[in-house]
Amino acid sequence: MREIVFDTETTGLDPDVERVIEIGGVELWNHIPTGREYHVFIRPADRKVDPAAFDVHGISDEFLTDKPLFAEVADEFLDFFSDGKLIAHNASFDIRFLNAELKRLGHPPIEPERVIDTLPMARRKFPMAPATLDALCSRFSIDTSRRDKHGALLDSQLLAEVYIELIGGRQAALGLVFGGGEESEEGDETVRRVRSRPAPLKPRLSEDEAVRHLVFVESLGEEAIWWRYLGRPAAELEEEPQQAVAAKA
């Protein structure tokens, strides 16, 4: 299963007028980073970086002067983000901006069913606790020493680690390899169906233990819940349990 953990930086907060200036993405396969990443800085057309936004990410108008427009990188962006689930923190913010950029070029929007938002995931898992990316990194002991300001690629890398922890930690990505059985492709996943055992295993209880257990169950009466699992009342036993025990004594 392919997933892209991503983040954006923008010139401001309103997607109708502000623009995307940085996109970062990290590819996961079955919740494991593959090493494939996407990163680009984008020159906003006819838009300056808002001072408040600059304080957050530190990306200046001067820095963006020689960077490509979104129209120039749209194809490679869509190629990397074309399939799989998209994971972001406070995803509605990033998706609104990306869809606004795609709309300006006549591309279809990113469908909401493709998007996983880690912010509500964190709030459900840790009610009343801070759910910022920094707070979650601290909770999961993820190193943020490189993070002076927000950055799309670095934040995507950190969020990928957070996301893996939110869904159960590293062991959630482990797969078991079974001998025998058959494989089939279902969507993006390989499903292995294991064949049934040709014959049941022998019971681990000895004959003597089984008889003594029946004696105990009989002592509980015909209404004992054990009879639901044994499937027969004491009266229907081929041999009375007390007699069987006496015979083994």
- Which residues are catalytic, by number? 150
Strands (E), 168-220: 182-186, 189-193
46-52: Cβ within 8 A, 24+ apart: 47/11, 47/17, 47/18, 47/19, 48/11, 49/11, 49/12, 49/21, 50/11, 50/12, 50/13, 50/18, 52/12
CA 4 to chain centre: 11
CA 40 – CA 152 distance, rounded (Å): 9
CA 109 – CA 97 distance, rounded (Å): 10
CA 210 – CA 216 distance, rounded (Å): 10
HSE-up (13 A, CA, CB side) for residue 142: 22
CA 41 – CA 77 distance, rounded (Å): 12
In which element (H, E) is residue 207 found? Answer: helix 207-219
**Does residue 73 contact residue 98 with C-beta atoms inside 8 Å?**
no
Neighbours of 203 (CB within 10 A): 9
CA 97 – CA 51 distance, rounded (Å): 18
